[in-house]
Amino acid sequence: MGLLVGYRTDCRTSRTSNSRYVNKTYGIPEFYLNKYHFTNGSLFTYKRLNIAAGFQYTFGKRNNAKNVINYAEPIEYNPETDYSLEGIRQSNGKTRFDELSLFISVAINLEKGLMD
């Protein structure tokens, strides 16, 4: 039996664009979020099987993100954004990401005599 422990990140270092477009017309804002992954688990050996099982917790957080939409104090028509009945978008959004994952792996050793 063995213990598995790991740490990794998904960090973005540069921004090429903050929107993805459908037919270069409709923009979908993209959130830039650095994620940190913490992994732990166990490795078991049973006859010719190697079994690994564990959990991964992922955490991400971002402050001062630009709002996707703002309905507070709507303006009848805003020529800057070309939208109607929408307030001015501010950069005061908060994003938080939490995820818990379970992983299970089974490997069969096909070499004879090694695990006996």
Structure confidence by residue, pLDDT tens digits, 91-103: 888 888 999 999 9
Residue 36 lies in a domain: yes
Residue 25 lies in a domain: yes
- CA 12 to mean position of chain CA atoms: 12
Residue 114 lies in a domain: no
Residue 69 lies in a domain: no
Q: Domain residues for 44? A: 2-63+94-108
Coil, strand, or helix at residue 83?
strand
Residue 116 lies in a domain: no
Structural domain total, the chain: 1
pLDDT tens, position by position, 17-67 = 555 555 656 666 666 788 999 999 999 999 889 999 999 999 998 888 777
Residue 103 lies in a domain: yes
Return d(Cα 33, Cα 9) in angstroms, integer. 11
